């Protein structure tokens, strides 16, 4: 069995970071293929051309699983995390308690389908520190919602992460942690402590190292 995770430019690809952290937490070996984002015509080979070599959906991340002479393709960050949780139950990527699990799934889906103004105004620039732009009302409301959701989850569950042990919910919110850190968004102490624990994860350190190489190579 071999895993290959296809991701976008690591400085920018917030969606790709999620399954990368899930795979890192599981501890299985995997290869990472990085596709440069924002390569457009008239370049002869665009970002889209490259991604389409791996997935007809034309978006990263994509997970390729080579197993028993077959290749399974999984696309979309949450679908990849779900698939990994199913294949590696020992990693406990969803909380064991059904109530906690339902809340973790709800928070993960809320992240997956929401917060468009945060995405728009606070784009992920993983290794950078940038000035906070003037935030729209909707962006401020979305930030407040995330902080409230984190505080509730952290207060309810004992441990370092949203649901005690590291879970898919943490993978889903790690790009937000990076965004809040980059733009120095004001957060209360419980949220700041949570962010620091996410930033200290080995998967985040590996991602940072690779993103720094992209900056040094002038491709991000």
Ligand X SMILES: N[C@@H](CCC(=O)N[C@@H](CS)C(=O)NCC(=O)O)C(=O)O
d(CA 200, CA 32): 21
Residue 37 · residue 47 · CB < 8 Å: yes
Positive or negative torsion for Cα 118, 123, 126, 132: negative
Which residues in 86-114 are b (16+ Cβ under 10 Å) and which e?
Answer: eebeebbbbbeeeebbebbbebbebbbee
Residue 11 interacts with ligand X (CB under 6 A): yes or no: no
Per CB under 6 A, contacts with ligand X among 25-44 are 37
Residue 15 interacts with ligand X (CB under 6 A): yes or no: yes
> Pick from 4, 26, 59, 110: which binds ligand X (CB under 6 A)?
59
Binding span for ligand X by CB under 6 A among 56-64, 146-154, 196-204, 209-217: 56-64
> Pick from 3, 6, 22, 47: which binds ligand X (CB under 6 A)?
47
d(CA 87, CA 67): 12
How many residues bind ligand X (CB under 6 A)? The answer is: 16
Residue 60 interacts with ligand X (CB under 6 A): yes or no: yes
Binding span for ligand X by CB under 6 A among 63-71, 75-83, 115-123, 140-148: 75-83
d(CA 211, CA 220): 8
Residue 175 interacts with ligand X (CB under 6 A): yes or no: no
Residue 76 interacts with ligand X (CB under 6 A): yes or no: yes
Residues lying near ligand X in the complex (CB under 6 A): 8, 13-16, 37, 47-48, 51, 58-61, 76-78
């Amino acid at each position: 069995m071999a895993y290959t995770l296809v991701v976008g430019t690591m400085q920018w690809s917030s969606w790709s970071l999620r399954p990368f952290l899930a795979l890192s937490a599981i501890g299985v070996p995997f290869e990472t293929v990085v596709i440069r984002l924002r390569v457009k015509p008239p370049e002869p080979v665009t970002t889209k051309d490259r991604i389409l070599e791996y997935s007809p959906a034309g978006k990263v991340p994509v997970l390729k699983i080579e197993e028993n002479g077959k290749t399974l393709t999984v696309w979309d960050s949450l679908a990849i995390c779900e698939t990994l949780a199913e294949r590696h139950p020992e990693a406990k990527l969803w909380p064991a308690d059904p109530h906690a699990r339902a809340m973790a799934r709800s928070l993960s889906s809320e992240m997956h389908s929401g917060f468009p103004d945060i995405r728009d105004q606070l784009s992920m620039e993983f290794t950078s520190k940038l000035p906070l732009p003037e935030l729209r009302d909707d962006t401020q409301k979305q930030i407040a919602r995330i902080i409230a959701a984190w505080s509730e989850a952290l207060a309810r569950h004992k441990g370092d992460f949203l649901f005690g042990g590291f879970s898919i919910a943490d993978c889903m919110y790690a790009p937000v942690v990076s965004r809040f850190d980059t733009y120095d968004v004001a957060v209360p102490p419980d949220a700041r402590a949570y962010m620091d624990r996410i930033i200290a994860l080995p998967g985040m350190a590996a991602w940072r190292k690779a993103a720094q190489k992209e900056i040094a190579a002038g491709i991000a």
